Amino acid sequence: MEIKKVGVVGCGAMGAGIAQLCAQSGYQVVVSEINDELLNKGLASIDKALARIVEKGKLSQQDKEATLSRLKGTTKTKDFSDCDLVIEAAIENLDLKKKIFSELDGICPKHAILATNTSVLSIIDMAVVTKRPEKVLGLHFFNPAPVMRLLEIVKTIATSDETVEICKEFGKSLGKTPVVAPDKPGFIVNRLWIPYMLHAIRLLEDGVASREDIDNAVTLGLNYPMGPLTLADLTGLDVLFFAANAVYERLRDPRYIAPTLLEKMVAAGWLGRKTGKGFYDYK
């Protein structure tokens, strides 16, 4: 099957990035939001992101306009009726995602592949509400989607090999390196990343080292591009807290228990860059 038209459910940070990437790669794209206000905000963020690329000389104004011409926004699920692939990028709420998949299953053509961008939730739970579980899988992009080069393809026990191969080629067409992971908590990246991040927070919480020394030790000693506390602020402490809890709930592995410091910071609304305060102050 050839993918010609891509649908994206959700035009927040991840959804907008995925929609932009697909449109830049030559696909016809329809992206949805629950209301016009959120949709316009998401589309404006895409236009702004493309403008920055033009300013850097990495994209021509003509190519920017061509990208936007391939992109359509909507608040109606029925506009996914002629998509070959639909990628759900809604908030990490399993009941909401199951509702979306059930609706998409009744609207999309029989050949269409339905994918979720979830980073931790069980994908088979979404697949079983459809009549096409063999065509349901995870396509986990990383933030920012147009820049990060990895694509985790998550195969459930019901996903067909054909669906995986089609999505591998799709990922490559976006300039991504695809890796295949099983539908198990955390997949590959978060299974490794979460304990690393939580352990760095514990070092700070226990007074082993300062935030600056922890970050400098990792960037200069391990040659990582960013220290763990800076990265946590960039990702969002609420996102890290949710992911850790979701994986711990399934695995009961103590490495995934969120430190008290992280829990208290989330409760205080100190979520990192997006709120102006996290492990560092951004105001």
Q: Are strands 150-155 and 136-141 parallel, antiparallel or unpaired?
A: antiparallel
Burial of 140 (C-beta count, 10 Å sphere; 0-12/13-18/19+): buried
Mean pLDDT of 140-151: 95
Same domain for 174 and 39: yes
Structural domain boundaries, residue 88? 5-182
CA distance 200 to 209: 10
Look up the CATH number of the domain holding residue 218: 1.10.1040.10
Indicate whether 94 belongs to any domain: yes
Same domain for 173 and 82: yes
Q: What is the pLDDT of residues 197-209, one digit of tens each?
A: 999 999 999 999 9
Task: Say if CB 85 and CB 6 are below 8 A apart.
Answer: yes
Cβ neighbour number for residue 79 with a 10 Å cutoff = 16
Q: Which residues are catalytic?
A: 119, 140, 152, 190
Same domain for 152 and 25: yes
Mean pLDDT of 18-38: 98
Length of the chain measured in residues: 283
Same domain for 177 and 60: yes
Indicate whether 148 belongs to any domain: yes
Mean pLDDT of 29-38: 97
Q: What is the pLDDT of residues 242-259, one digit of tens each?
A: 999 999 999 999 999 999
Indicate whether 281 belongs to any domain: no
pLDDT at 283 over 90: no
Same domain for 233 and 166: no
Q: Is 198 helix (H, G, I), strand (E, B) or coil?
A: helix
Same domain for 228 and 137: no
Indicate whether 233 belongs to any domain: yes
Same domain for 206 and 99: no
Of the residues 138, 162, 182, which one is the last residue of a structural domain? 182
Task: Say if CB 84 and CB 113 are below 8 A apart.
Answer: yes
pLDDT of residue 207: 98
Same domain for 167 and 43: yes
CA distance 144 to 268: 26
pLDDT of residue 166: 98
Contacts of 261 (CB under 8 A, 6+ apart): 201, 202, 204, 205
Of the residues 155, 182, 209, which one is the last residue of a structural domain? 182
Same domain for 34 and 162: yes
- The CA-based diameter of the chain, rounded to the nearest angstrom, is 57
Q: What is the pLDDT of residues 88-103, one digit of tens each?
A: 999 999 999 999 999 9
CA distance 131 to 110: 9
Q: Number of structural domains, the chain?
A: 2
pLDDT of residue 187: 97
Of the residues 147, 163, 182, which one is the last residue of a structural domain? 182
Report the candidate in 80, 142, 68, 74 with the shortest Cα–Cα distance to residue 105. 80
CA distance 23 to 156: 27
Map tokens 């709120």 to a residue.
275
Map tokens 């998509």 to a residue.
83
Same domain for 100 and 9: yes
Same domain for 121 and 199: no
pTM of the predicted model as reported, rounded to 2 decimal places: 0.93
What is the pLDDT of the chain when averaged over all its residues?
Answer: 97
CA distance 145 to 11: 12
Same domain for 151 and 37: yes
Contacts of 209 (CB under 8 A, 6+ apart): 203, 217
pLDDT of residue 276: 97
Q: Are strands 5-9 and 85-88 parallel, antiparallel or unpaired?
A: parallel
Task: Say if CB 40 and CB 74 are below 8 A apart.
Answer: no
Percent of the chain scored above 70 by pLDDT?
100
DSSP state of 134: G
Indicate whether 283 belongs to any domain: no
